[in-house]
């Protein structure tokens, strides 16, 4: 079987990388609000639940990053884009896992 690893469409590349950015932002925001009661209280005051505010912020980061990156006409291979996405999800999961280990033991 021939390896046909070609570049993905520039908009696909942009929003794929934006998804990875949003995953990392989601992790950082989760950690920040768990460790900072003032941030959590602010997020609760913005909408009816802090997770609603959290979701809107993550979506905002995704769409803004995707829009900005799409203007760059990125060239990226499909396998590299997949690796970036999988890597961001693994890092995000590890970050939240370490957070809850910390909160459990300290």
- CA distances to 2, 73, 78, 101 from 81, rounded to whole Å, are 19, 14, 5, 30
Share of the chain above pLDDT 90, in %: 93
pTM: 0.91
**Mean pLDDT over the full length of the chain:** 96
**Of 94, 81, 90, which Cα lies nearest the Cα of 18?**
81
Q: What is the pLDDT of residues 20-46, one digit of tens each?
A: 999 999 999 999 999 999 999 999 999
**What local confidence, expressed as pLDDT, does residue 3 receive?**
64
């Amino acid at each position: 079987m021939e390896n046909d690893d070609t570049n993905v469409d520039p908009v696909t590349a942009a929003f794929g990388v934006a998804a990875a950015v949003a995953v990392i932002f989601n992790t950082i925001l989760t950690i920040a609000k768990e460790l900072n009661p003032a941030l959590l209280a602010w997020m609760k005051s913005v909408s009816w639940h802090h997770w609603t505010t959290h979701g809107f912020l993550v979506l905002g980061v995704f769409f803004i990053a995707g829009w900005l990156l799409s203007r760059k006409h990125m060239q990226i291979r499909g396998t590299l884009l997949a690796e970036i996405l999988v890597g961001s999800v693994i890092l995000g999961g590890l970050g939240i896992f370490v957070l809850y280990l910390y909160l459990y033991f300290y």
